[in-house]
């Protein structure tokens, strides 16, 4: 198992926009934000499984945590082997662990040298800013990317631009993708965060 830790809940929520995780182990006693509130924030953007791991043994905390969307509650102390077992059980139930899928050719292909992006073997005619945004979404495909990250990491968008400009650029990209395939929306809005690109057929 590969683990990424975050001691601050705000950093943890930010990591959700940068990586695709299989499961979250969440403490309740956190700086700046109570863990029960963090569950609600997580559930606004993803259905990723959550295991609460807490020294707080109040039954009310357990009930509220499960009602807000946690999948399991483990009061400390406990044997780490039990935690591993519960992780595997939850992942089997949510189908996160699966047999390796047959390799399929990606439908989005980025050529950073020529600043071109191919979609279903057809070249997208993109502006420099559109290339920046779409290539970042492809890089983090199937994971959410915040508007702020799209704005500030783009090389061709003015630093003084509003994050609302990102919505305009996303709309133009969607229109160009739809000219090739209008059957599916490949760029999905993530409420309160930004956008996610999925290349799953």
Residue spans of the domains in the chain: they are 9-93, 108-197
pLDDT digits 0-9 by tens, 6-24: 989 998 998 888 888 999 9
What is the rounded distance in angstroms from the CA atom of residue 156 to the CA atom of residue 127? 9
Name the nearest CA neighbour of 173 among 114, 128, 120. 128
Give me the CATH code for the 108-197 domain, please: 1.10.10.10
State mean pLDDT over 99-126.
Answer: 83
Confidence of residue 93 (pLDDT cuts 50, 70, 90): confident
Determine the pLDDT at residue 45.
Answer: 85
Residue 65 CA: distances (Å) to CA of 92, 116, 163? 21, 46, 33
Determine the pLDDT at residue 152.
Answer: 86
What is the rounded distance in angstroms from the CA atom of residue 187 to the CA atom of residue 84? 35
Residue 159 has pLDDT above 70, yes or no: no
Give me the CATH code for the 9-93 domain, please: 3.40.50.2300
């Amino acid at each position: 198992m590969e683990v990424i830790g975050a001691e601050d809940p705000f950093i943890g929520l930010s990591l959700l926009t940068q990586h695709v995780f299989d499961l979250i182990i969440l403490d309740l006693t956190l700086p700046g934000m109570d863990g029960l509130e963090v569950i609600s924030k997580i559930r606004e953007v993803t259905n990723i499984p959550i295991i609460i791991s807490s020294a707080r043994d109040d039954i009310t905390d357990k009930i509220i945590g499960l009602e807000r969307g946690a999948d399991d509650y483990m009061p400390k102390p406990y044997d780490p082997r039990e935690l591993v077992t519960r992780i595997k059980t939850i992942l089997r139930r949510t189908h996160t662990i699966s047999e390796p899928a047959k390799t399929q050719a990606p439908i989005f292909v980025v050529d950073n040298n020529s600043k071109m992006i191919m979609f279903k073997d057809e070249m997208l005619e993109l502006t420099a800013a559109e290339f920046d945004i779409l290539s970042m979404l492809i890089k983090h495909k199937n994971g959410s990317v915040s508007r702020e990250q799209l704005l500030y990491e783009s090389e061709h968008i003015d630093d003084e631009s509003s994050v609302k400009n990102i919505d305009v650029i996303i709309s133009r990209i969607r229109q160009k993708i739809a000219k090739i395939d209008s059957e599916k929306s490949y760029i999905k809005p993530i409420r309160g965060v930004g956008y996610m690109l999925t290349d799953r057929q």
